[in-house]
Amino acid sequence: MPRFLVPLIFSLALAAQPVQVEAPWLTVYDVDGRPRWEVRMTYLARTDEGWEGENVEVRLFHAGEVAVVINAHAIRADRFGRTWTLVGDVTGAGEGISFTCDLAQWSGGLVLVGLRAMREGMSLVAAEARWALGEAIDLVDVQATLDGWEVKFADGRYLFDGLLLASRVFMVGHGVVLAGESLSAWPGEGRLSVRGAYLVRNP
C-alpha cells in the first residue's frame, strides 16, 4: 500500500464545504471560512475505498475554536473525506470532559460508540453519543454516577455549559431508590434536580 511521502495540497468543494489537504493533514471549513474539523496523522495511504491513516489526531471546532480533540490509532475515510471512522485506543477531551470510546465516526456529525466519559463530579457510560458541532451532545442508554447517585436513563443531553439533562430517570443513592420524570444536573457544582420524583422502594 503506497504512502504519501511528499506534501499534497489541493482544494475542492464538498457539500459547500471548502477543504484543504496538506498531507498528512485534512481541514474542512464551514461556509464562513472557519475550521469545522481537522485531521492530523503520521501518514496517509490510499486504498480502493478511499484512504487510511495511523496515529491520528482529530480536532473538532465550534464557532471557530477547538472544542474537542480525539486521538486514535487509525482512521478510515471515503475518497472525499465526507465520512470517516476512528478505531484503536480512541481517547478524547474537551469542554472539561475526558473520554474513551470503542470507535468514533463522522458523517455530518460525530458519533461515539461505547462512550466512557469523566469530569469533575460525574462519570458516565453511554451506548452512543451524538454531536453535530452545536451546543449539546445527545446521549443514548446511559448509566452515570452523579454526586453519590447511580443514575440510569435512555435518552439525555449534555450541554457545554456543564448541564446534564435527562428524562425518565431511575436513581439509587443516599439510602433510597427513586424514579423521576426528568433530571437536571450540574456535576461541576454538585447540584441536581429531579422533577416528578417518587420513591420506588427502600433498598
Per-residue pLDDT of the chain (203 residues; tens, 9 = 90+): 333 323 333 333 334 445 445 556 778 887 888 888 888 988 888 888 888 888 999 998 888 889 899 999 999 988 877 789 999 999 999 878 899 999 999 888 899 999 999 998 899 999 999 998 777 899 999 999 998 899 999 999 999 888 999 999 999 998 899 999 999 999 888 899 999 988 886 55
Tell me which residue of 53, 43, 44, 99 sits closest to 76, measured CA to CA.
53
Residue 82 has a pLDDT of 78
Residue 22 has a pLDDT of 55
Q: How far apart are CA 39 and CA 94, in angstroms?
A: 16
Residue 50 has a pLDDT of 86
Query: Is the N-terminal amide bond of 2 cis, ω within 30° of 0?
Result: no
pTM: 0.82
Distances (CA, A) of 196 to 39, 109, 164, 184, 203: 45, 33, 17, 12, 20
Residue 3 has a pLDDT of 32
Give the residue carrying C-alpha cell 428524562. 167
Residue 52 has a pLDDT of 87
